[in-house]
Each structure stands twice: as structure tokens, then as C-alpha cells.
Structure 1
Amino acid sequence: MPQLRIRITGSDDAVRAISDLLTSVPGIEHVEEIDDLMPHMDDPDSSSAGLSDDEGPGMHLIEVEAPNETAVTRVRELVESLAFDLDVLVEFETDEDDVRE
């Protein structure tokens, strides 16, 4: 089963809208926001050390399991269209086991 990870840079409301869209796609059964595993550390010598980082849009990662490659393509098209409407940035990662040579 193909797995797709979608990295979204945008507001919580935009992420919720994209997540709601994904759960409405026929055949998609697993949609989950997963934690960002990379720590975001301030450099103690940086001029921005200690400043709040909630000023800009947040970064979110959503994991989606699709039944086949056709569904993956459909998910990409729908998410790209909604992201354009919401003015957010999306990046797609696929499970490397599903990449065909």
C-alpha cells in the first residue's frame, strides 16, 4: 500500500482543511498528522535566540496511506489545488520502497 507524507507550511486551519479533504477521498483510510522528529534548536549566539517562533506559519507533516498509485496521484492533485487556494506550501514525500526503477 503506497504511503505518502505531505509536509505543509501554513496555519492550523489550512492543515485541518487539507486533512478533512484527504479523509473524504474514496479509498483513503489512514490520514494522520505526525510529529516533526527533527529538533529545532536555537544557536545560543544567534540574534534570534530566545525569540518566540510562533510568529510565522507552522510546519506540519501528514501521513496518508493510499490503496494504489492512482489514488496517490488523485491525492496530489487535490492537495495541490487546495493548497493553492489556501496560499500554503506543500511538499510530497513518498515511501522509498514504492519507488520503481
Structure 2
Amino acid sequence: MPLMRLRVTGSDDSVRAISNLLTSLDGIEHIEEVDDLMSHLDDDDSSSAGLVDDQGPGQHALEIEAPNLATAARVRDAVEALAFDLDVLVEFDTEED
């Protein structure tokens, strides 16, 4: 069973739309938003607090279990199309053998 990991750079609403799309696809039984394992060490009293570089869309990580490679390919195509429509960035993590 392929486990797909993807990162979405966009608003909470965009991530919710992608999750809703994924739950509507046949064969997808498990979708989970996972926490970022790396802390960003943003302090309120930091000299860089509030700079333009710190403001922007959030990053979200999703894990999706697909029953087979064909369904995983359909998931990727559907997410890419929706990401284009929503104007968000989606990165897919792949594990090379």
C-alpha cells in the first residue's frame, strides 16, 4: 500500500479543499495532516519578528494511504490540478529504492 507524503504551502482553506478532494476519491481511506518535525524557532522578541519574510502562507504536511500505484497516480494528478486552480504550491515526497 503506497504511502504518499505531500507538503502544501497555502492557506488553511486551501489545505481543507485538498483534503476534501482526497476524501472524495475512490480507494482513499486514510488522510492525515502531520505536524512539522522541525521547529521554526520564531520568537516574538526576535530582531526578525514581523518581517515580511515571516509573513505568508502556512505550510502543511499530509500523508495519504493509497491502495495501489494506479490510485496514487490519480491522487497526484487530482491534487496537482486543484493546486493549480487554488494557486498553491504542492510538493510530493518520493522515496527512492
Cα RMSD for the two superposed structures? 1.9
**Where do 5+ consecutive residues of structure 1 fail to align?**
none
Q: Which residue of 2 aligns with 1:33?
A: 33
Q: What is the DSSP-based 3-state SS (H/G/I as helix, E as strand, rest coil) of the residue aligned with 1:28?
A: coil
Aligned equivalents of 2:7 and 2:38: distance in 1? 13
Looking at structure 2, the residues matched to 20 and 5 of structure 1 have their Cα atoms a distance apart, in angstroms, of 16
Q: 1:51: Cα distance to partner?
A: 2.9
How many pairs were matched up?
Answer: 93
- Where do 1:5-84 residues align within 5 Å? 5-42=5-42, 47-48=47-48, 50-51=49-50, 53=54, 55-84=55-84
TM-score normalised to structure 2 length? 0.87
For residues 21 and 67 of structure 1, the distance between their equivalents in structure 2, rounded to whole angstroms, comes to 17
What residue identity is the alignment partner of 2:27? G
State, as a whole percentage, how many aligned pairs show the same letter.
67
